[in-house]
Structure 1
Amino acid sequence: MTTMTRNSFKREIPVFPAKARWIWLPEQEFPNAQATPVSYYTDHHGFAFGSAVFRQKVTLPERLDDCRLLVTGDSKYRLFVNGEIVCDGPPEIGGDWNNQEVPDWFFYESYKVAAPFRSGVNEVVAEVMLQGDSQCDYSTGHGGFRLALLEGDRLLLGTDENWECRFDTGRRPERIYFPEREPVTWTRAQCLAAAVSQRWKLRYYPLPPLAVQEVFPDQLNIRFGGERISGTEDFLGRRGPLVLRHGSPVTFALHFPTEVAGCAEFEMESAPGARLTVRYQEVEGFPHEYDEYCTNGGRVKFRFHSVEAVLWLEVSVVFASFGYEGYDDVRLYKLSMMSQGFPLGEAAPFHSADSSFSAIRKCCENTLRMCMQRLHWDSPVHKEGLGCLADYRINALQSYYLFGESRLMRLDLIRIALLLCQKQHLLFHTTYNALFPVMICEYILYSGDHTILEEPEIPQAVALVFAGLHQLEDGDGMLTRADNYMFLDWRAIGDCNYHHPDRSNGAASLTAFFALGLQAGVRLAEWQGTQDRAEQLRRAYNRIQENFHRHYFDAGRRRYRNGPDTDNAIPQTGILAILAGLAPQEIAAEIIDDLCDKTLQRQVQPYFCHYLFDALAAVDAYDRRGSEVLHLWDELVAEHPESLKECWDCGDYSHSWSGTPAIQFGKRILGVIPEAPGFAACRIAPKPCGLPHAAGSVPTPHGEIGIEWTRTAECFQIRIQHPRAVKIHFCPPDGYPLENCILKEKSD
């Protein structure tokens, strides 16, 4: 897979030729292998489990420069060329929690033709699974495969009835793989009728292919049967096989140099019936999933299908029950992880006098790399759909500050918009809907790409979000009529779980989220030149601002209540009130320390700390309190340096929504904040947080902005290097009047 590069096709969207048809297993021979479950949440009872396998040969010209491949499949496919995996897919449509609707869109991809393709005869084999394996996998409800291999405009190979096919039932629902024994029977594929083919409303996937890298273990710990395991050093050094002598089962654990998201791949030699089981672990001894392979004997190389988060692989081998000369022992030639992720370069540099900040940032970076795939994931363990969009807001902001990467978020916003339009704004988490305009606004600020507003689904989805949330208002603009008030934070108090709070515990927060969305909507409308719309949204925000404090502030206890008819008041409500500008400035300044103290008591989870940091900045308290909140991550990194935990004291790892420190180091410590789309104007407002010095850079569409500052009690000295296209506005940090600052600015 690493040898292929997806074409960018910036000016031209490649289109399937009509002669390249949708094909599938012939219905007459395989009547029970036609329908597929629409989603992970569909009742899978009655659906066939297995894979349709298609094959064809093609003769390619001597030069492959002008050749390209278009491909897609339903539900999931892997494409092999001359025996090697070259790509898989399709890119995920997005999806939402418990969504079972047939998607209105489906992706296909385009690749440049390169090795293992070669001039002359090539065998192309596609393995198309009838069922996905994660929450973000969706199907149209019918299996299908489509491929076109083109030289310029000339079709060299297209899917049609001349392809051979078979139904492979070796992959079982319980994640056990039984490869079919040779010889297998092949038959002719069936071209699908137009009525079936119209299920797939194809959209081109314009992003580059995932970067795939093979990662090998660096440590082997024996669990059981160590007396029959030999060749450990040769195996780890890739000089020879790990030899497992025949007998009772053996178990050992493989450690990898860093935690990765990827598929396990092995090559082994054994007698028929030997079984290899791998258990995927982020922390040694605690598996979250497993796969098993039962061999047919001989030497085999196989890659499991599912992408998993792995720092440790626990491996068990059960030997064949009967002796076969030459194969009684098992020889494991390799067991590696095929790490995958969105192609990212080196992260922008950052360093400071506090070395723990560097460790936190590195942990955030590695977690983000694992979660940036063909879409943003909450984690490679859960693989939730894009309906959980607040997670991906934090992922996107990290990718802007670490890598200057916005392409994946652009497509994710379109996918979310398509989902909002199909669901008529009724996604699983009501609070997340309100953040959709915020995410679009942030995307434009960091990328400078106004053209996303020209995508028809985007303004339609924004209008649906606002219209839907307006329907939940009472006479004073408070959102008290919602079916649900999810999601707030991972916290439970008594009978109330703030994952899904009731009206009395969620109305204030939902109203504050709506206010944030309205503020972003005003900005979007102004960018679009629709002043009437901007004024309409501004009036809606002003009505909330006029009434929120009166409805929800408890003057006696000096805190914001969670909703009507309750005295409950969690810090998240107050944080949102400040952030959305709904708390009077003097009240906000008064209560921020209490909210910060409660955060330090772990009453606010890592995800929600992102809102706290912005609230601290809103009341000029970041420089005073930001560092101690950032140091909450020291415990997470000490517990698991490779990836971020979901919550302070619960959940699993590799959750990038906990990665707000990666944003804070660029946005607050270095102080780089875009004020106009694409950093046309940029505020530099460092928050030293007690540090004597810090340095680093923040990527922009015009190039990097480099920051280096040092400070003493009397003087703040800063060096700013920025592209000429970026207009800089320097704001001195707290405690340093402008006359006590030395500014050295250079543009290039």
Structure 2
Amino acid sequence: MASQNWTEQTKWIWIPNYNDSHPQSPGQFALFRKSFNLSSLTSEKCFIHVSADSRYRLFINGASVAFGPCKSYLEKWYYETVDIGPYLCEGKNVLSAKVLRYSATQTANFSLMRANIPGLVVHGKVQSKDLSTDESWRCILDESSRIVPASEWNYMLGPPLLLNNETVDGSKAEANWQSIDFDDSHWSSAVFQSARAKMLPVLDPWKLTGRPIPMFSEIPRNFDSTVRSGGDVGIKSWNDLIRTNAPVHIGPLQTVFAELQVLAFTTGFLELHLSGGIGTKIRIICAECYEQDLGVDRSPWPLPRSKGNRVYHENSRLYGLEDTYIVNSESGDVCYEPFWFRAFRFVRLEITCHNAPITIKRFAYREFHYPLEISTKISLSPILDDMWKISLNTLRNCMHETYEDCPFYEQNQFIADSRLQMLFTYQLSHDDRLARKTIQEFNASRRPDGLLEAQFPNPFRAVNIPQFSLYWIWMIHDHMRYFNDGSLIRAYIGTVDGILHYFHSRVNEKGLVGKFDSEMWPFIDWVDEWKDTRDFKNMALPASYQKEGVATFNSLLYAMTLNAAADLCDYISWPDVAAEYRKRSSSLNEVVNKYCFVDGFYTDGTVGSSKSQHCQVFAVLSGAITGDAARELVLRTFQATNLPKCSYALGFYVFEAVAKVGLLEDMFQTLIQPWTKMMENNLTTWAEDSVNSRSDCHGWSACLVHVFVAHIFGLTPATPSYKYLRIDPLRSLLSSAKGSFATTLGNLSIEWSKDKGILLSSTTDMGVEVVVHGSTQHCRLIGGQVYSF
């Protein structure tokens, strides 16, 4: 293994004479090679460390061994540790890397941080051969590959937040450049890349640290079937290709297409194997679903898209991200892979031959997700079980090196989305590594005003959403309940107080949370009635905010979070601070009740303003209204037909409020209607919201994971870290149910049926309190035994 200070000793390298602000592309590719000879092989592991700015794929003797670095920020720039031993051979070997560098001066890809200079760093030895990056590495700019710039973006898909689709001209490619026998004599020697200066205390921009989450497998998968095709190649031929690798032959001057599907939305690396066809143009379009055909392929501005049944392809079209490849092979085999993983349920492969025939030998993908080991398994009813599966698939596809709002359009990590996704993973698995990374990253984004960046990592200063910082405090609270880690709370309690201080400073003369800084976006929720096309910073919030500088929701969310922060302070024995937070919360609730409650409803602003479902839900959660009055408010809220409704983004909080007043069993079928409707429209992941036709896979919509675990089965921590479990199932909702659940104390099984009580068993000893017909019974389960209540 490497010495402790290798990160200081090993040099970053890059290609000479590099222009980081290329006007034609926001991202460029560089190729690197290091050849070495081995006289013999050993069985010892051969570890190397590797990182790059912005992104690399590492090969040893042509085999891909790593894709990274794990998303991060400059003060914690991750490297991967890779064992290349299994790929080595006697004689000549070659270590190679393809590096995508995003420009530090262009706004492409809002989810990848980059420094003001590019670089690749490798450290390690194989036997006596030093593989560390230095001038002996060979390098060249990849002139064949280009990231499509925002000027060529298809704006009917929305803003160009991701920008990782590419055009590749095979005639300019360095064919077989990863192979051992490739002649790199026309390549340049690498140059050192550093910001350090003689006699000055300047460091390189990247502070290297080991990757905190596991490496991801890339699992080979095939497409399931062909939906439709065009040209001289029929559906059967395409099905034979994707199922048995039977080659598809396309003659000169022909244009054909195939639209292929997987049974459920996924993310993965596409790979297209072909031979011949010099001059052929291949377009690959990845799409989430079939949708209304708008009569155009692309648009310089957003168009009103419409999605219904996601698999209905008659008079419909696939819209999505596009990669283009120009073939240069006359007869030899070629494999084209877009560099970045793609999100898709359908893929359109369109091939326009020039003067030479082409043979498609294989078209497949390698599935790519965070390797979450899901231990929780449930069985409820056929429909609810399908909802569970869709929820898991949604969550899985929104988990890579960060939690993602959506894998298709942004791949950004937002606080509000991540808080929910983290909580859902706690109910499925013992693995909190990605959650810890997320908490730490947002903490590192802390601003001078005490708030956190709503989205992070983020390479550029962006409009902030202040309320999202409050959801970060809930991240800490959730982790306390499920993992009982006091050191984590102590590490971040200062940030918690800074966030709360910011909101305290915004309290106006009436005692309500008032306006935020003008450059911020006080986003609350995607609601049809809250649309304002004049400025996006006026969207997704009630009119009262602009009219009078108050949105009641903000005061309620702040009050609710103050109570969570008080719990954290109690946990670390800060009773005086906890008391202060609860006093603030109580004061806010009193003021909200004084100024923002009229005719039986909470108003969006002070008395006389509009009303929405949002304020009723969060008044219950904040404790502004309690007991029978809260229950009656929830009933009135869902009987009212004129209240703007919470979207899927806040669906979790709707379920929580209804459960808090004891109405979840009565209202369950009503509350799951949006998810039922999505199933009727053949979604295999849950959509972003019902207001627009954007993302078909959005993590916050997987809240049914929590609903099923915490409410139907009634399993929640009675004390932090599941030291004591509370089990209060909704048994009258279903005649029978069974499940096995991941807890930090071991797996717990819960089962009931009409003729039995609640049956519990566990793999380890654990304490439980079980609620049966309103009566709480306490018991200590002994691992391996079954208990009946």
- In the alignment, which residue of structure 2 is the partner of 1:449? 485
- In the alignment, which residue of structure 1 is the partner of 2:29? 51
- In the alignment, which residue of structure 2 is the partner of 1:122? 93
Q: Which moved more, 1:246-255 or 1:627-636?
A: 627-636
C-alpha deviation, 1:566, in angstroms: 4.7
Residues 431, 486 of structure 1: 8 Å contact kept: yes
Residues 140, 199 of structure 1: 8 Å contact kept: yes
Matches within 5 A, 1:72-83: 72-83=51-62
Q: Which moved more, 1:253-262 or 1:660-669?
A: 253-262
Whole-angstrom CA distance in 2 between matches of 1:335 and 1:437 = 45
- In the alignment, which residue of structure 2 is the partner of 1:397? 423
- In the alignment, which residue of structure 1 is the partner of 2:410? 383
- In the alignment, which residue of structure 2 is the partner of 1:236? 242
Distance 1:238 1:545, change over 3 A: same
Distance 1:659 1:230, change over 3 A: closer
Distance 1:704 1:270, change over 3 A: same
C-alpha deviation, 1:636, in angstroms: 0.8
Matches within 5 A, 1:204-603: 204-227=210-233, 231-284=237-290, 285-297=317-329, 298-320=332-354, 322=355, 328-352=356-380, 354-386=381-413, 388-421=414-447, 424-425=450-451, 427=453, 428-453=464-489, 455=491, 458-475=492-509, 477-483=511-517, 484=520, 486-493=522-529, 499-501=540-542, 502-503=545-546, 504=548, 507-554=551-598, 556=599, 558-564=600-606, 566-597=608-639, 603=645
Whole-angstrom CA distance in 2 between matches of 1:241 and 1:654 = 33
Residues 694, 709 of structure 1: 8 Å contact kept: yes
C-alpha deviation, 1:686, in angstroms: 1.0
User: 5+ residue gaps in structure 2?
Assistant: 149-165, 175-182, 197-201, 291-316, 454-463, 533-537, 785-789
Q: Does 1:160 align with 2:202?
A: no
User: 5+ residue gaps in structure 1?
Assistant: 1-8, 36-43, 95-102, 323-327
Please give the secondary structure, in 1, of the residue aligned with 2:444: helix
Deviations 1:487-518 (A, max 9, x none): 32110326656524435586211111112221
Distance 1:423 1:287, change over 3 A: farther
Distance 1:543 1:385, change over 3 A: same
C-alpha deviation, 1:613, in angstroms: 0.9
Residues 434, 465 of structure 1: 8 Å contact kept: yes
- In the alignment, which residue of structure 2 is the partner of 1:709? 752
Whole-angstrom CA distance in 2 between matches of 1:194 and 1:141 = 9
C-alpha deviation, 1:17, in angstroms: 4.8
C-alpha deviation, 1:150, in angstroms: 4.5
Select the residue among 702, 708, 720 that pairs with 1:659: 702
Q: Which moved more, 1:311-320 or 1:532-541?
A: 532-541
Residues 64, 119 of structure 1: 8 Å contact kept: no
C-alpha deviation, 1:404, in angstroms: 3.4
Matches within 5 A, 1:734-745: 736-738=773-775
Deviations 1:429-482 (A, max 9, x none): 111111111111102222333332354xx3343232122222111245421132
Whole-angstrom CA distance in 1 between matches of 2:471 and 2:617 = 16
Distance 1:425 1:151, change over 3 A: farther
Whole-angstrom CA distance in 1 between matches of 2:636 and 2:85 = 60
Distance 1:251 1:569, change over 3 A: same
Residues 769, 778 of structure 2: 8 Å contact kept: no
Whole-angstrom CA distance in 2 between matches of 1:315 and 1:13 = 48
Select the residue among 771, 775, 788 that pairs with 1:731: 771
Distance 1:345 1:599, change over 3 A: farther
Residues 57, 66 of structure 2: 8 Å contact kept: yes
- In the alignment, which residue of structure 2 is the partner of 1:99? none
Select the residue among 722, 743, 752 that pairs with 1:679: 722
Q: Does 1:144 align with 2:119?
A: yes
Deviations 1:71-91 (A, max 9, x none): 111111111221122211222
Residues 718, 742 of structure 1: 8 Å contact kept: no
C-alpha deviation, 1:356, in angstroms: 0.9
Whole-angstrom CA distance in 2 between matches of 1:567 and 1:602 = 13
Whole-angstrom CA distance in 2 between matches of 1:438 and 1:466 = 12
Distance 1:228 1:593, change over 3 A: closer
Distance 1:121 1:448, change over 3 A: farther
Whole-angstrom CA distance in 2 between matches of 1:696 and 1:600 = 39
